Amino acid sequence: MAMPPDDSAVDSSVNILVMNAGSSSHKVRLYRIEGPGLPDDPPDPLWEGKIEWSAPGGAERTVTRNTAVDKATARETLPPGTARADGVSHLLEMLWRGGMAVLGGPDEVAAIGHRVVHGGRHLREPMRVTPDVMATIQELAPLAPEHNPAACEGMEITEKLFGQAAPGVAVFDTAFHRTIPDAATVYPGPYAWVEQGIRRYGFHGISHAWCAERAARMLVDHDPGTLRLICCHLGNGCSLAAVRGGQCVDTTMGFTPMEGLMMGSRAGSIDPGVLLHLLGQHGGPTLSDLGRVLNEESGLKGLSGVSEDLRAVLSAIDGGDERARLALDVYIHRLCWHIGAMTASLGGLDALVFTAGVGENSAVVRRAACRPFAFLGLALDEGKNAGVSETDPGTDRDISRADSRVRVLVIPAHEEWAVARECWRLTFAGKAA
Ligand code: ADP
């Protein structure tokens, strides 16, 4: 097993900025880490900023400052036509300018962590951002067109604003999956695909790694070297990871984040024959139409016709909407089917872990996902399951019955903190002031 990182180091406080760039939003968080080491539990960010590019009334910026003295939130619609780079630069400048400032200037940021969705075959560990690393991330853009270019843009902006004094660290969503054996990553197409890097990479790795680590800490009766977990990251995007002894052995997403589970607006796995059929039809969809349909008009949204948001689908079901019912049934069927596949990859199961928007908040989905696995001795505590709600964001918790042979855990996702932690480790660990 890898040596545990040395988390004792600096003895003064440092400010770590985290950039999380996506297609529809850009999230920024500032964490103040008081020396000499990392805290055991995720601290609240000192400052959070977010731009939602496709908010209903136009691009919207939300900033929250969370100091010992006060907590305040400011929301504003950006002027129409604001370029993304300008929007993000202005957001970052609010760290030290105007009413929401928490810093005296950009020089108070010590290091910057960037979440990067696709690291391909070569970028497999957190690493310093260099021109070469940025070039590789940019080259991988065709594999993550919504995310990798946005991450590179974020790196350019922070380099301009903060200079070389605040080193950048890239943390990759694909990295946790590097231990998956070839049997689970190779597609059974022609061998040329293997040579071209057309294989399964897996995503949501920062979240899965976090959940696996937190679950191992909770399950003190299990040997962490053999512990078998399935992490269910159920947000707008959904994926599972099968983790044995802290190492990922299988996952549901593949070459792109489109494979696997049914998601908010993504179809997940479907017979590729359906695509050939549609593309071959006279007057059928173009490639880009098909991409849009599979990414944005499928999943819960496509089937229900209501929304990609599970809450809206559930309330439509309460109102008797049959299509919404069908959408939820397919979502649950596919979730259970893939949990079964991950159980086979692990050769058994010690704990099922739920995280992200749906996983943390939907008792309905957790109950339905657990039901078929009673034969493994998995027994959910209905009261504890129902008790975990948005009004009780809480901490990590066990919602299985005392006699359950498989534990069921709810572990809040902390992707930005997980990036901040890696950034701190790479930049400061072992460098006592
Ligand atoms: P992302 O993948 O964009 O990070 P999140 O992890 O924030 O998404 O998850 C967002 C989804 O979580 C929403 O679309 C919604 O369907 C779901 N969600 C949030 N709260 C609840 C809830 N109380 N009940 C059911 N679903 C919820």
End-to-end CA separation in angstroms for the chain = 29
Query: Is 87 within 8 Å of 156 (Cβ atoms)?
Result: no
Ligand 1 and 143: CB distance under 6 A: no
Query: Is 22 within 8 Å of 150 (Cβ atoms)?
Result: yes
Ligand 1 and 355: CB distance under 6 A: no
Mutating to test ligand 1, I would choose from 361, 390, 414, 416 the residue with most ligand atoms within 8 A of its C-beta, which is: 361
Query: Is 73 within 8 Å of 118 (Cβ atoms)?
Result: no
Nearest CA to ligand 1 atom 3: 236
The confidence score (pLDDT) of residue 9 equals 55
Q: What's the whole-model pTM score?
A: 0.92
* Ligand 1 atom with the shortest distance to the CA of 308: 14
Ligand 1 and 299: CB distance under 6 A: no
The confidence score (pLDDT) of residue 196 equals 92
How much distance in Å is there from the Cα of 307 to the middle of ligand 1? 12
Structure tokens at 136: 């590789």
The confidence score (pLDDT) of residue 5 equals 54
Q: Which residue stretches of 180-321 are H helix?
A: 182-185, 191-195, 205-218, 272-280, 287-296, 299-304, 310-318
Report the alpha-carbon distance of residue 394 to residue 396 in Å, rounded.
7
Q: 304: number of CA atoms within 13 Å, CB side?
A: 30
pLDDT in tens, 383-393: 999 985 545 55
Tell me whether residue 173 is one of the annotated catalytic residues: yes
Ligand 1 and 107: CB distance under 6 A: no
How much distance in Å is there from the Cα of 264 to the middle of ligand 1? 9
pLDDT in tens, 393-430: 568 999 999 999 999 999 999 999 999 999 999 998 86
The confidence score (pLDDT) of residue 145 equals 83
How much distance in Å is there from the Cα of 411 to the middle of ligand 1? 14
Exactly one of 11, 173, 271, 398 is catalytic; name it. 173
Residues of the chain with pLDDT under 70: 1-11, 388-394, 430-433
Q: Please give the domain boundaries of the chain with CATH numbers for all domains.
A: 221-415 (3.30.420.40)
How much distance in Å is there from the Cα of 181 to the middle of ligand 1? 31
- Starting from the edge strand earliest in sequence, which strands make up the sheet with 238-244, in order? 247-251, 238-244, 228-234, 351-355, 407-410, 397-398
